[in-house]
Each structure stands twice: as C-alpha cells, then as structure tokens.
Structure 1
C-alpha cells in the first residue's frame, strides 16, 4: 500500500478548465467523459458497473475507500470506470467483512485516481456546463500535450460501447431446474440483475450483445430481457432488430436502462444525449399507474424523447423522473413489453422498484395461460 507523500495531479476538462488535486500513488493518465454520482455508499458497485465504461467518475460523497472492498460487492468482473476523482481517498479501511483496501484494488487494475479535489466546485461546474471529455494526469505531462491528446478522445454521442463490455460467449446463471427460462441480451449487464431474476425462480442464458433473435429464441425462453450498458443506444442496430422481432412474436420483454432505450428506438422513438445525465441512488420517480413515488438508483447519460413517446399510438409513459420530467418508464399497449430508465435491482440503493422483476414474472405467467 502507498503511504508516500502525495504528488500533484490535475483534471483537465475539454473546455480547458483545470482542477488541481493529488495522485493517490498510481502514475499515468486516463481519458473519458467526466460525470458525477450522488450516492453516499456503494462505491465498489459504481466502479464495476459496465454502464460507466468510458467515464471518469466524480464521487460527491466526501470519503472514498473508508470501508474497503469485498468481492461480493461487484457488478462485473473488473473495474469499468476510466478513472476516479474524489475529495478524500482513504488508504485505511474499517469494516469487519472487507477483504482489502481500495488502493490495492485500484493498483491491481491500474486505475488512475486524483484525490484532494474540490469536488463540490467540480460537480457544480459539470451541472452548469454539462458532461464533457476530460483527462486525469498524475505523471506530470504538460497541459499543452494533454489538450492535444484530449482533442483526439471520441465524444460519447454516437459512441457504441456495448461491444466493449458484453460477454464474448453465452453463459448460464441460476438453477437449471428453475420454473422460468429467460434469454438476456448482454449490453453491459449488472450481476445483481441476474441475481434478482434467479431469486424469482428463473434460469437465465446470457447472450453477447450481437446475438440474433434466432439464437436467443433457440433457448426456448419464457421471456426476454434487454440489459443496461454504456454508450449511445442509437448505433445498436442489431439489438434494435432483436427487440423488433421479440415484439413481432409478442414474447414477454423487459428492458432496463440501455435496454429501455433500445426498445424505444425499435418502436421508432428517438433518444438524445442529456446535458449531464442522471447518476445516483436518490432519484425520485413517480409511477403514473399506481400514483406512488419511488426513490431510485439511476445511471444514464441518454434518454427517450418524451414528445415522440406521447404521440406514439402503441406506447405509453408509466414512470416520470420528478426532477426534470424525463421519461423513466414505458409500456406497450398491445404487446407484452415494458421497460424502465432506472435500476430496480438497486445495488446499492433503495428497494422501492424491485416489484418490476415481479411484474416481469407475472407477465410471463399470463403469457403462458
């Protein structure tokens, strides 16, 4: 573990703004779209969430690393963020079931981190100026050189990233003797989604992002699932085609986050890049069907076009984000299909929305009758 004097480091934004801080001891530079997460806990789940691939994460919570890491608290098999920006990085950890400290976890995967940053000022700046590309530098590279390198970093708008995080080979999750079989398209799936389905007596076959409908259908599933994931949904033509074919056969379909956006695109409703997205475990959503409020876990930088959705004869909005009135959920009127823009598996976060998995199972049951 590193205990030496911290070296100066910088975060350079694409518009030329510089935030100063200290390196935690891992030398190098890393590029990505800078965004912030408002969660007060669950940093390990955030760092391993495939939806964050290609992004530099700013944590608004002041203390990171204070409860260490645990191999059970991951959403994938590796760290997915490009880099971390935080206020206080703790080299020591105090929790009975932590297995190691966060520094060693980062060092093994060469994750560049800058601490001692005025994160309140940085988050305020991103809120006012929008998400943009950035670079964390802990190796002393000149600002002029960093600006040149940053200019070559691709923009998130139009960027297809599902292929970077999806499984290369199909695999199974759950008990083979389970009552229900689910074919899941992995666009960057979180492990806790699979756990939630398996807990509801499902045996899941997870397919790569470019799997065809015929491949997914060959498992003879009772229902289909389109997962969350990183990047722009627009270039995912294969996934959109899969969604159209599932809908054509009116099979039970559930989509989360990127999967929700893919279902919208498959129905001819466009998506757009948000100014700075929704990321945190405290986002208020209203269920328009029940009238109830939900505190939700969210992580997305793209959203479904609300005006187009409202005009669509086959789609209806089921959930609205109460902070900005964006679409948080929808369903089809004549098809066995619904989707949400947030994360009902809620790890970490509230469990207000876990009923959505039960709803999917009920849809599967009704389709069998």
Structure 2
C-alpha cells in the first residue's frame, strides 16, 4: 500500500523533471465549447439567441425540435461570443457597479455608506438547470453549514443568483416540474427573486436570458407558460444531403482536434462578439415609426393573440435586430424577420387546423405589411 506521502513525492518529482504546470493542466482540461460561428444551418435558432442577448428584456427563447439537431450545442456556444461584464468582486449575485436595478441589497447599502467596492470583469454566466433540481437549489436557501457551525442564519444563493446578468438554460424544459417553471418565468419577467426561508427574507436581482429546449414528442408546455417565453424557434432535421455532410464534417473536425477548429473560427467569433457589443450600445437609440407599430398591433389583432405580450416582444425584437444590423430606424424587413419567432407560439391551437402556425403568421404579415 503506497502512502499518501509517497504519492505526493512522486507527483512533485514528475512536475519538476518534466516541466509540467499543474495550473495549465487543469486549465487545458476544461472541455472546449463548439464555436457558435461554426454551426451550420438553424438560422432561426441562432437569430433568436443573438437577439435575446442583445436585449434580455425580450423574455428568453423556447427552442423545440427533433433530437440531434444541435439545440444544446448552439445554446451553450452562444456564451462564448458575449462581451465580458463588469461586476462587484466577490458578490454572489454578479451585481453591477453603477446600475442600481442590477445591484443586490448588500451592495446598495455599501455604496450608500460611501464605501469603494472593487470591481472585476467576468465572462457572461452560463448556468445549466438540471431537471432534478429542487426549489431550494433554484431559489436559494439557508446556509446549513454556517447555521450549525456558527449559529447564524445566512443565505446560500441558488442558481437564479448565479445566472443573474447571464443565461439560464433548461434542457427538456417541457419535462420540468410546473412549479419550477412558474418560478423561473416569474423571476425572468420581474427580474427579481424573493426568498422566504426559515426566518430569512431576502430579495436579489435575477436578470437572465431564459432559454429552454425540448422535443415536442415528449410533451408540450402549458399554453400559459409557453406564452411567457419571448420567442419560439422551431428546429427541424436538415434534409439536404450536402448540408448534412457539411455538418458531420464540421463536428468530426471539432471532435478530432478542438484547438484547430477554434483557431479556424477565431476571427469570426471575435467579429460576432464585436457586433453584439455594438448592438447592445446602439439599442437605446433605435426608433420605430408609429405606422409600423400600428401594423404590428394590427397583425396581433388579426391573429387573435391574447394579451399584449406579442406586441411588446415584437417591437423589442425588431429594435434588437435593427441594432444588430447597425441601423437606428426599424424597417419593414426587420419586423418581417422576427415577427414569426415572436407570435407563432401565441396563437390559439385548433386541432382541425391544417396550416402551420408559423405559416399562418407569415400570411397575415404579407397581407398587412404591403
């Protein structure tokens, strides 16, 4: 039986005599992410994700499609092309140093007391929410370790806190418990998470882009929950043989040598990151004419869309798309590009209807936007 001392001695010897750097070993062992710009096809899904990261107030995106169509790969890849964000160093809620609405209560108190808080730049958080997560894990709860060891009640942040100012991804969201979906959608809509646990009452910002994916064969979301997602992208399996071969070759190249694949797409990734950053800065200056806003609402009325979410989301998405294209005024083509994504999941389902909901939206749009 080799002792722990002997194992440690051997490990140190290997490092010293082979020029190994344990930090680089750990860093290089991080699993590489498939580059977003290398993804072939599925333009609808990619556009919906880009628009949501430009303007998170759009309300997230629901991506439904066949198995093996790259939904999870694309969603995880979007985080790599997002600009870094500035946060208060050590704050568990990723608080913004100047935006009051994106600060935790603790940071607000510190700033009001005149304290200078250290800041840091981090990558946009990309948080996966597993199907088996409990409500305490999602929302946060009391820190049991501190309660037992120190006898004090403190808050242990959950996944909503970690996802603040980032992306929260739920794979197979149609299989998630309804009460958890309610919590996610309420937090995404309000931008805040309130926790009442064992004598602890805390509220913290929870501004994130909610992204859900699923296979319609495994069950649909309730209509009232589906309506809370800002956009809805439908993904279908690629039928074109040449495009399928291109996708397979792209994936094989990445699997064989991820470093080379990432290097090949480095410039495209950097260019997309710059475009997104520029669009985020330009967004507040985007305008949309009253006549176009009237036509958007006319489309929603013609399609018998319940509520006003469809109108609001379409206006926001059109502005985000115009900003992405570097324009300051929304044009008709901008609206046509995004309106199907914003409205197709808000139509009332008719079991006897033979036409696809997306085609129905496009027909009404072509009649009104002439």
> TM-score normalized by structure 2?
0.25
Larger Rg over CA atoms: 2
Q: Indicate the structure with greater strand content.
A: 1
Relative contact order, higher structure (CA 8 A, sep 6+): 2
Compare the two structures and name the one with the higher helix fraction: 2
